[in-house]
Amino acid sequence: MKQISSHRILVLNPGSTSTKVGVFENKASLFSKVVRHRQEDIKAYSNIVDQYQFRKQAILESLDVEGISLSKIDAVVGRGGLLRPIESGTYEISGAMIKDLREGKYGEHASNLGALIAFEISTQLNIPSYIVDPVVVDELMPEARLTGLKEIKRKSIFHALNQKSAARKAADEIGKPYEEANLIVVHLGGGITVGAHKDGKVADVNNGLNGDGPFSPERSGTLPVADVISMCFSGRYTISEMMKKAAGQGGLVSYFGTNNAEEVEAQIVQGNHEAEEVMRAMAYQIGKEIGARSVCLSGKVDAIILTGGLAHSEWLTGEIIKMVSWISDVIVYPGEDELRSLAEGALRVLKKEEEPKIYGYKEG
Ligand SMILES: Nc1ncnc2c1ncn2[C@@H]1O[C@H](COP(=O)(O)OP(=O)(O)O)[C@@H](O)[C@H]1O
Ligand SMILES: CCCC(=O)OP(=O)(O)O
């Protein structure tokens, strides 16, 4: 095998409102781009796998415009999607993984496309492909798994990649090992997740996809369950329409038809009362969720971290900070560095510092 000390890595990060693409030479970013997707464009697809060509096109066009040739790439890494619950780490993209993602066996989210597109490109180029810290990383403590219905267990579905990396960065900043810090990390993206990080594990977090936690640019968040049951049996909606109300057509999309929080914030500045009321309610729900996580940590919170695309909004972070600053210091990391986290996860394996984990077939 060719001995290479330098690794050029193509990084793909499909999210609910954007597709992010980058190229790294070892740890140095050579190029990165965020392609934002309008709600009207995404709405045209009935399920996530149908967005495959649309997202792949966005990636290939971005590389083309930049004059980046795929032939120079040594590995591809994609954001990991809805698989069965697994531990944190870098995983080789496997046949079993591709099968589960194609079938949508564990649900639908844009991140499912990360491995699917990475796998196709890597197969054509005969190079390795990976995912890192997919959205199903599961470190929940036992009591966080139960609900008040025996048949329903809570699931760990969240922005694991950015939550873990933001938590490590904050732990570094406050001078504690991540494994000894008590942190609340809030990822404010197309979905919103609020995690309690205790002893290096995400002991509790809202399921950011399936109607749990604060509403977000495109998620309903927690809803009164009897009202949802009534809607389901009203005869007015199909199961697919109801699922989309929870993820895709919920939150800001439900009120304003857009997943773009910047647009809604601009409406507040122009004096739109409904825009202000809804954004305040979203901030309020986020604040309440942070309060709940502080209880998971018995009130011993080293820091609250606000991160993700919406953390660019000083209006929103200001509203949240007013509610929660009595709990602990609040650190704001606007945006995310998921492309770098993905590249570094792949690099550790390429440099043989770490063995890749294997996602195999499982019965049932
Ligand atoms: N400067 C900004 N001010 C307010 N909202 C922003 C800003 N930048 C991005 N956003 C919002 O952040 C959300 C997307 O966050 P991001 O973390 O990129 O999510 P995703 O990975 O789901 O696409 C969108 O609602 C977008 O409008
Ligand atoms: C499925 C949890 C992760 C998530 O919500 O990601 P986006 O914000 O990119 O939709």
Residue 148 lies in a domain: no
Mark whether 285 and 257 lie in a shared domain.
yes
| Ligand 2 atom index nearest CA of 189 | 8
Could you tell me the distance, in angstroms and rounded to a whole number, from the CA of residue 42 to the centre of ligand 1? 16
Mark whether 301 and 261 lie in a shared domain.
yes
Beta bridge partners of 9: 24, 75
Could you tell me the distance, in angstroms and rounded to a whole number, from the CA of residue 188 to the centre of ligand 1? 8
pLDDT score recorded for residue 364: 56
Mark whether 322 and 351 lie in a shared domain.
no
Residue 2 lies in a domain: no
Enumerate residues 6+ apart whose C-beta is below 8 A from 131.
Answer: 77, 78, 79, 80, 81, 90, 91, 93, 97, 114, 115, 118
Mark whether 264 and 344 lie in a shared domain.
no
pLDDT score recorded for residue 43: 87
Q: Do the beta carbons of residue 133 and residue 345 sit within 8 Å?
A: yes
Largest CA distance in the chain: 64
Of all protein residues, whose CA lies closest to atom 2 belonging to ligand 2? 158
pLDDT (tens place) for every residue of the chain, 364 residues total: 445 589 999 999 999 999 999 999 999 999 999 999 998 899 899 899 999 999 999 999 999 999 999 999 999 999 999 999 999 999 999 999 999 999 999 999 999 999 999 999 999 999 999 999 999 999 999 999 999 999 999 999 999 999 999 999 999 999 999 999 999 999 999 999 999 999 999 999 999 999 999 999 999 999 999 999 999 999 999 999 999 999 999 999 999 999 999 999 999 999 999 999 999 999 999 999 999 999 999 999 999 999 999 999 999 999 999 999 999 999 999 999 999 999 999 999 999 999 999 999 986 5
What secondary structure, in 3-state letters, does the chain show?
CCCCCCCEEEEEEECCCEEEEEEEECCEEEEEEEEECCHHHHHCCCCHHHHHHHHHHHHHHHHHHCCCCHHHCCEEEEECCCCCCECCCEEECCHHHHHHHHHCCCCCCCCHHHHHHHHHHHHHHCCCEEEECCCCECCCCHHHCECCCCCCECCCCCCHHHHHHHHHHHHHHHCCCHHHCEEEEEEECCCEEEEEEECCEEEEECCCCCCCCCCCCCECCCCCHHHHHHHHCCCCCCHHHHHHHHECCCHHHHHHCCCCHHHHHHHHHCCCHHHHHHHHHHHHHHHHHHHHHHHHCCCCCCEEEEEEHHHHCHHHHHHHHHHHCCCCCEEEEEECCHHHHHHHHHHHHHCCCCCCEECCCCCC
Could you tell me the distance, in angstroms and rounded to a whole number, from the CA of residue 27 to the centre of ligand 2? 25
In order of 26, 80, 266, 341, the CA distances from 29 in angstroms are 8, 20, 32, 11
In short, whether 162's Cβ falls inside 6 Å of ligand 1 is no
Mark whether 117 and 203 lie in a shared domain.
no
| Ligand 2 atom index nearest CA of 208 | 2
Residue 158 lies in a domain: no
Q: How many domains does the chain have?
A: 2
Task: Give pTM, 2 decimals.
Answer: 0.96
In short, whether 308's Cβ falls inside 6 Å of ligand 1 is yes
In short, whether 36's Cβ falls inside 6 Å of ligand 1 is no
Residue 363 lies in a domain: no
Could you tell me the distance, in angstroms and rounded to a whole number, from the CA of residue 116 to the centre of ligand 1? 24
pLDDT score recorded for residue 87: 97
Mark whether 286 and 245 lie in a shared domain.
yes
Q: Which of 321, 322, 315, 335 is nearest to 266 (CA)?
A: 315
Residue 94 lies in a domain: yes
Mark whether 347 and 331 lie in a shared domain.
no
Q: Is 360 exposed, middle or buried (0-12, 13-18, 19+ CB in 10 A)?
A: exposed
The boundaries of the domain holding residue 316 are: 163-335
Cα 207 to Cα 186: distance, rounded to the nearest angstrom: 13
Question: Which ligand minimizes its atom distance to the CA of 337?
Answer: 1
Q: Which of 214, 190, 107 is nearest to 155 (CA)?
A: 107
Mark whether 22 and 116 lie in a shared domain.
yes
Within 10 angstroms of residue 274's Cβ, the number of other Cβ atoms is 12
| ipTM of predicted assembly, 2 dp | 0.98
Could you tell me the distance, in angstroms and rounded to a whole number, from the CA of residue 211 to the centre of ligand 1? 20
Ramachandran region, residue 192 (left: φ > 0; alpha: ψ -120 to 50; beta: rest)? beta
Mark whether 183 and 204 lie in a shared domain.
yes
pLDDT score recorded for residue 1: 46
In short, whether 19's Cβ falls inside 6 Å of ligand 1 is no
| Ligand 2 atom index nearest CA of 216 | 8
| Most informative mutation of 262, 263, 305, 342 for ligand 1 (most atoms within 8 A of CB) | 262
Cα 22 to Cα 114: distance, rounded to the nearest angstrom: 13
Cα 288 to Cα 282: distance, rounded to the nearest angstrom: 10
Residue 1 lies in a domain: no
In short, whether 161's Cβ falls inside 6 Å of ligand 1 is no
| Most informative mutation of 17, 162, 333 for ligand 1 (most atoms within 8 A of CB) | 17
CATH code of the domain containing 96: 3.30.420.40
Residue 145 lies in a domain: no
Could you tell me the distance, in angstroms and rounded to a whole number, from the CA of residue 308 to the centre of ligand 1? 7
Mark whether 197 and 318 lie in a shared domain.
yes
Mark whether 210 and 259 lie in a shared domain.
yes
Cα 116 to Cα 181: distance, rounded to the nearest angstrom: 35
In short, whether 307's Cβ falls inside 6 Å of ligand 1 is no
Residue 276 lies in a domain: yes
Beta bridge partners of 20: 13, 34
| Ligand 1 atom index nearest CA of 308 | 17
Instruction: Name residues contacting ligand 2 (CB within 6 A).
Output: 15-16, 109, 135, 157-159, 189-191, 208-209
Mark whether 100 and 215 lie in a shared domain.
no
